[in-house]
Amino acid sequence: MATTDSNGNEDIEEDSPTNRIKVSKLPSSATEDEIINFFENRRVSGGHDVEFVDYEKKSNTAFVIFKEVEAVEAVLSKTPLLFDDTTIQVEKVHVEDEADIEDFNRCTIEVTGMDQSSTKNGVMLYFEGKKGANADVLNIDFVEEEEMYLIRFGSEEVVDECLKRSHRLDGTDLYVRKHIPLQPEATYAKHAFVSGFNMKTTEEALRNFLEARSKTDVNKFIFGDIEGTAIVGFKTQPDIEKLTSECKNRQLNECFLKVESVPVSKSIIVSNIKPGTTKDAVMFYFDNERKSGVTGVEDVDLNTRNNTCIVDFVDCEAPVTACKKVHTIEGSTVKVEIYYKCLGGTATGDGPKFKPLDPLSVDLGIKIVQFLSNSNTGKEEVNKVLKPCYACIQKWPSGKSATITIECTLTADTKDCKKLVKTWEDDVEKRLKNLWLLYM
């Protein structure tokens, strides 16, 4: 039942659903990974899959966001909880309480551009000094993969004053901005990304295997360009954690399947683009609501080799809208599909098929071809060089020919065959180039 505060405003209902908790009194030795593992362990904490954690080490407090609202009640039902022999405090956090989470982040700056000689202690002392923020640093962490320091102060005012100044340390200009925390990634509720099955697995076999373990029907498959990958659409929302566990314990055609949630896509893949169409032409078209029905293009990656293009948008609504329309760019009607990064390319929904490549004709010049054609050692050397990239010359030309024909030996049984097909020609040309340098 909803309550009202002293001003007569209605408060949030105490029992309204939420997928968030605030965890206090964590041991000082706790790490973010340990917190995630703790709350994803049903036996220990009662929790489920964790979507996001914001950990404030200085105050030994963390905000945990689960993928499912049921996780919160399951965790609370197991309290009091022990984390490394320390009793922790757990409480619900509602959307209306998100100001607490904002307080967590708005007093933090990101610092990049440091000289290699700069130390963590040196950076901290600089920002505590008059040239930096002239205030105490509550916490400083180095994010190795980003080569970035996260520095937290006691108030937002300190951060604002710090951002007004330019900063230089150890002879190098520093880039300083307010911390922008990563947001939890939205996922498709009734979909799962499945990988690890082999090319011999039929669609029917995969369907039966997954339905038996998910206890729900499979509506569709979207197979990827990467061998053994597919997005699976279910009739009802599956228990991803349970399905993952089931697939770890039972093989399908001698393979263990890996099951993951599917991130909501913000991208489309555009194919059948007219040769010569530029990256800017594609960008201006899809960033024009009058022409394409969408806007908010963030990035464009044009592949002139196969005349396809991946277009990234700011939000996830644009790709859905774009796929509902017919698009013509520079007089050519193009095909537009949702682009799933995990699938590695288009998502046509076709089964896991392998299409053999056509032979590759290469002009080497008459002298080199004649020399090799008349030398058994030369022929053997060429095929020895080509073998690792699944290529061979089965028939050498006779007479005055400057061209050789290279056959592709990739088959459906070759591991990662669909991935190798994409670079086969480039791999062959590189090996030939290195070989011909020996004969030049």
Say if CB 362 and CB 401 are below 8 A apart.
no
Structure-block tokens of residue 123: 């950076």
pLDDT in tens, 386-421: 888 888 888 887 767 778 888 888 876 677 676 677
In a domain, 1, yes or no: no
* Cβ atoms of 237 and 257 closer than 8 Å: no
Which two tokens mark 183? Answer: 């947001």
SS (H, E, C) 124-192: HHHHHCCCCCCCCCCEEEEEHHHCEEEEECCCHHHHHHHHCCCEEECCEEEEEEECCCCCCCCECCCEE
Does residue 113 sit in the same domain as residue 170?
A: yes
122 & 159 share domain: yes
pLDDT digits (tens, 9 = 90+) for 315-350: 888 999 999 999 999 999 999 999 988 886 544 444
CATH code for the domain in which residue 207 is found: 3.30.70.330
Give tens-digit pLDDT for 225-276. Answer: 777 889 999 998 888 888 988 898 889 988 899 999 888 889 999 999 999 9
Range of the domain at 258: 187-263
Instruction: Answer yes or no: is 350 within a domain.
Output: no
The yes-or-no verdict on residue 84 having pLDDT over 80 is yes
17 prior amide bond cis, ω within 30:
no
pTM over 0.75: no
Indicate if 280 and 234 belong to the same structural domain.
no
Domain match, 259 and 192 both = yes
Residue 386 placed within a domain: yes
In a domain, 352, yes or no: no
**In angstroms, what CA-CA distances link 164 with 19, 153, 167, 173, 176?**
37, 15, 10, 14, 10
For residue 55, the tally of other CB atoms under 10 A from its CB is 22
Residue that finishes a domain, picked among 155, 178, 201:
178
Same domain membership, residue 244 and residue 304: no
Helix axes 376-386, 417-436, angle to 10 degrees: 140
Q: Are residues 234 and 174 in the same domain?
A: no
Residues 241 and 274 in one domain: no
* Cross-strand pairs, 81: 88
> Among candidates 27, 28, 53, 54, which has minimal Cα distance to 40?
53
87/43 same-domain check: yes
Number of domains making up the chain = 5
Domain boundary among 42, 62, 94: 94
Of 153, 178, 203, the position where a domain reaches its end is 178
Radius of gyration for the alpha carbons in the chain, expressed in angstroms and rounded = 29
Same domain flag for 367 and 313:
no
Both 80 and 125 in a single domain?
Answer: no
Amino acid, res. 399: G
115-to-73, 358, 397 alpha-carbon distances in Å:
48, 52, 60
Query: Are 259 and 282 in a shared domain?
Result: no
